[in-house]
């Protein structure tokens, strides 16, 4: 979990333009594209999460120095929250994610690739869920490693997987690749977005293998359509 101690600026226009337009990859070997993924628009998804039916016993902080204001909300077939985005660079060492680039770097993730190796944060879009606590236990709501998540920012939809766990009292974190695809500065030390990120986690879903981004997009698009129909 990236715990920032400084207020970070929102992604600049230059970052949005430079976010990359490479095609989504079936493996973890290429950076996902930044354009709209799937056929369901950000606006349609956001229209279903305008109000919160709180399912968490309390609320989360977005960073150590902030107050606890973020609830986990329930919907038919999904849970969601609206928060910031801190950058997770944990997992396999790469050019972008390592001890030199990331002051908080850890060489493992809570969930692993099909070959047993940690995930690759700079090429696989994944999000971080808070570790289970008295506030909320994600597994009790059908959320598990490899589950599909629609991450929405600046009218873009990026499909990711649940890939790591973080502190029990902080929420709002995603991998380097997730941030880059959404036009958010992915630098693990200074990047991220202060607000405006919506995370919709689809219950009882699993991407197999977890490292296949194309599988996440395909399943995510199906689940997003079902989500619109049922809410």
Indicate if the pLDDT at residue 14 is higher than 80. Answer: no
Residue 2: inside a domain? no
Q: Answer yes or no: is 173 within a domain.
A: yes
Picking from 8-12, 208-212, 225-229, which range would have the lowest pLDDT averaged per residue? 8-12
Q: Give the C-alpha separation, 33 to 90, whole Å.
A: 21
pLDDT for 45 equals 98
Q: Which residues contact 56 (CB under 8 A, 6 or more apart)?
A: 71, 72, 135, 136
Would the pLDDT of 5 be above 60? Answer: no
Which of these ranges, 26-35, 84-93, 203-212, has the smallest mean pLDDT? 26-35
| Residue-wise DSSP of 22-63 | PPP-SSSSSPPPSSPPSSS-HHHHHTT-SS--B-SSS-BBSS
Helical H segments across the chain, by residue range: 13-17, 42-46, 176-181, 213-230
Query: Domain for residue 135, yes or no?
Result: yes
CATH number at residue 176: 2.40.40.10
pLDDT of 15 above 70? no
Rounded average pLDDT over 71-85: 98
Query: Which pLDDT does position 36 carry in this prediction?
Result: 72
d(CA 93, CA 99): 8
The answer as to whether 4 is a domain residue is no
Residue 13 in domain = no
pLDDT digits (tens, 9 = 90+) for 165-192: 999 999 999 999 999 999 999 999 999 9
Structural domain that includes position 155: 32-230
Q: What is the pLDDT of residue 35?
A: 53
pLDDT at 18: 34
Give the count of domains, the chain. 1
Q: What tens digit of pLDDT does each residue of 16-62 get?
A: 333 333 333 333 444 445 457 999 999 999 999 999 999 999 999 99
Average pLDDT over every residue of 8-15: 35
Q: Can you give the length of the chain in residues?
A: 231
Confidence of residue 100 (pLDDT cuts 50, 70, 90): very high
Note the pTM of the prediction, 2 decimals. 0.86
Is residue 5 assigned to a domain?
A: no
Q: Is residue 210 one of the residues assigned to a domain?
A: yes
What whole-number distance in Å separates Cα of residue 82 and Cα of residue 66? 15
Q: Is the pLDDT of residue 67 over 60?
A: yes
Q: Mean pLDDT across the chain, nearest whole number?
A: 88
């Amino acid at each position: 979990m990236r715990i920032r101690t400084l207020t970070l600026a929102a992604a600049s226009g230059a970052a949005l333009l430079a976010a990359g337009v490479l095609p989504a990859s079936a493996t973890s070997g290429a950076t996902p594209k930044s354009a709209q993924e799937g056929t369901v628009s950000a606006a349609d998804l956001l229209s279903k999460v305008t109000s919160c039916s709180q399912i968490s016993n309390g609320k989360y902080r977005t960073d150590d120095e902030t107050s606890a204001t973020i609830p986990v909300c329930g919907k038919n077939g999904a849970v969601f929250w609206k928060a910031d985005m801190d950058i997770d660079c944990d997992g396999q060492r790469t050019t972008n994610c390592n001890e030199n680039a990331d002051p908080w770097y850890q060489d493992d993730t809570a969930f692993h690739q099909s070959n047993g190796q940690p995930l690759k944060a700079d090429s696989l879009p994944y999000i971080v869920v808070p570790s289970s606590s008295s506030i909320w236990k994600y597994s009790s709501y059908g959320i598990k490693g490899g589950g599909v998540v629609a991450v929405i920012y600046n009218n873009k939809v990026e499909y990711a997987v649940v890939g790591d766990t973080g502190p029990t009292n902080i929420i709002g974190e995603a991998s380097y690749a997730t941030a880059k695809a959404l036009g958010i500065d992915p630098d693990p030390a200074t990047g991220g977005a202060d607000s405006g990120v919506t995370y919709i986690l689809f219950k009882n879903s699993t991407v197999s293998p977890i490292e296949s981004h194309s599988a996440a997009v395909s399943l995510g698009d199906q689940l997003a359509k079902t989500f619109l129909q049922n809410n």
